Amino acid sequence: MSIFSGFTSKTAALVALGITANAVVPLAISAPATAADFSDVNNHWARPFIEALADQKIISGYSDGTFKPDQAVTRAEFAALVQAAFPNNRETRPQGYTFRDVSTNHWAYNKIQKAYKTGFMSGVTTTNFAPDTKIPRVQALVTLTSGLNIDPQGSTSTILRAYQDATEIPQYARNKVAAATEKRMVVNYPVVDRLRPNQITTRGEVAAFLYQAMVNQGQAQTLDTTAVNRYIVGATTDGTTQNANLRVRSGQTIVVRGADARPRILLLPNESIPNLTLIVDQDIRNSANEILIPRNSQIEGRLSPLSSGNQFLGMRFDARRLIIGNQSYDQIDATSRIVTGQQQQASSVNTGTVENAAITAAAQAILGRVLGQSVNPINILGSIFTGQTPTTQQQDQVIIIDPRQDLQLTFNSDFYVNRVATGSN
């Protein structure tokens, strides 16, 4: 038996569903009392949406106090969700429909019937609903705009220019996605102009879509835009997006330095440093000369070796998190070019270079053995061996990387900050 947490209606007390091969039977488990009890959403991008809906008792979490915001949502769960949010929606197909794969004792039978009658959802075929199938993002948006009877006012093709991946939107969904875009119901994380239409929807994303739909219907207040607006798509009829002043454009470069007094980084050719912090060395500004990413902000990520067969190609830094003051931005899309740094035999490395460096333990051991003396760097970096096994010629080699010269980063897609910074840190 597997246990899933379901979305609850305002009067329901069922928050977890026990699923067997032949039937789905609701299992009553007490839910967290308030949104503040969710232990796994504090640093999640969708937290404002999740907490707002939980406070209205439209969604709830698991019995262990978690919400699991990145877990997928099924069609049955989504049917229950829209009924919880819009229980009084007018029935446009009051006769209902019999789906072969939804028995009358299915836990969501009534919710699915209601979702059908009110125009939110139909079957995946003329006979089946596929209640346990995970719902893609595009279907979730079509469901909401269909049930709320929302159509685009502007040109569909023009509105959809807001998305880099608009060509991936299925033809049947284009008008409804355009309508959702106009009404600010689309929330895209981490890149606001990438819809990812065919990706499975998560609980956090569903919370965001649903809350924005409720805002559109006058059932909820607009959330603090400084916290969430950078992920809300607000296309106008000419296809432009809002918050352009908060956008760091794709292709923008970032000059960085090491975290400890500009140290060099010493490691072996087949080592990866999974947790490396770099420091932004120059302000990043918008077209109005306002600071978006201040100097001294931190960028966390991974430095990894790249190889082709037994040939070492170089190292690349992949950014994972940007920290500006007390604000953390997860999953930023920025990388360095592939760099070789300075490849030296350990015997030729100057001890002064070592002492003014952040170094991995493996490189420290080799240098200590070859140089015949204790090596005392500024910082010991945690590392793992992930590259190809070094050749005989590489076994006593070390790589010396100067982050400022070697690890200049480039944004691979547009990135949005919450607010303009007041100045460098």
Give, as one character, the DSSP assignment of residue 364. Answer: H
Shared domain check, 125 and 35: yes
Q: Is residue 348 part of a domain?
A: yes
Domain count, the chain: 2
Same domain, 56 and 180: yes
Q: How far apart are CA 338 and CA 332, in angstroms?
A: 18
Asked if residue 143 belongs to a domain, the reply is yes
Whether residues 262 and 294 fall in one domain: yes
Residue 100: inside a domain: yes
- What is the 8-class DSSP label of residue 168? G
Please indicate, yes or no, if residue 283 is contained in any of the structural domains. Answer: yes
* C-alpha to C-alpha distance for 178 and 171, rounded to whole angstroms: 12
Asked if residue 321 and residue 215 are part of one domain, the reply reads no
**CA-angle at 240, arms to 152 and 328, nearest 5°:** 110
Assign residue 251 a region (left: φ > 0; alpha: ψ between -120 and 50; beta: otherwise): left
Neighbours of 72 (CB within 10 A): 18
Q: Which residues of the chain have pLDDT under 50?
A: 1-34, 235-241, 378-380, 382-394
Angle between helix 137-147 and helix 75-85 axes, rounded to 10 deg: 30
Cα separation of 38 and 61, whole Å?
Answer: 7
d(CA 324, CA 168): 33
Residue range of the domain that includes 218: 2-245
User: Beta strand 256-258 with 271-280: parallel, antiparallel or unpaired?
Assistant: antiparallel
295-305 confidence digits (pLDDT tens): 999 999 988 88
d(CA 252, CA 412): 8
Evaluate whether 299 touches 321 at the Cβ level (below 8 Å).
yes
Q: Do 23 and 147 share a structural domain?
A: yes
Q: Which secondary structure element, helix H or strand E, spans residue 276, and what is its range?
A: strand 271-280
Examine residue 425 and state whether it is found in any structural domain, yes or no.
no
Residues 313 and 346 in one domain: yes
Q: Which residue(s) pair with 14 in the sheet? A: none
* Contact (Cβ atoms closer than 8 angstroms) between residue 208 and residue 175: no
Does some domain include residue 423?
no
Same domain, 95 and 126: yes
CA distances from 236 to 23, 36, 192, 357 (A): 46, 35, 15, 51
Q: Are 233 and 262 in a shared domain?
A: no
Same domain membership, residue 340 and residue 236: no
Helices 137-147/174-182 angle, 10° precision: 70
Q: Which of 289, 281, 266 is nearest to 364 (CA)?
A: 266
Q: CA–CA separation, 181 vs 158, rounded Å? A: 11
Four-residue CA torsion sign, 221, 226, 227, 228: positive
228: closest CA among 82, 329, 86?
A: 329
pLDDT digits (tens, 9 = 90+) for 365-400: 777 776 665 555 544 454 444 444 444 444 578 888
Residue 297 class from Cβ within 10 Å (0-12 exposed, 13-18 middle, 19+ buried)?
buried
Whether residue 186 sits in one domain with residue 73: yes
258 with 158, same domain: the answer is no
Q: Is 151 left (phi over 0), alpha (psi -120 to 50) or beta?
A: beta
On whether residue 422 sits in a domain, the answer given is: no
Q: What pLDDT sits at residue 384?
A: 46
Residues 221, 73, single domain; the answer is yes
Residue 421 forms part of a structural domain: no
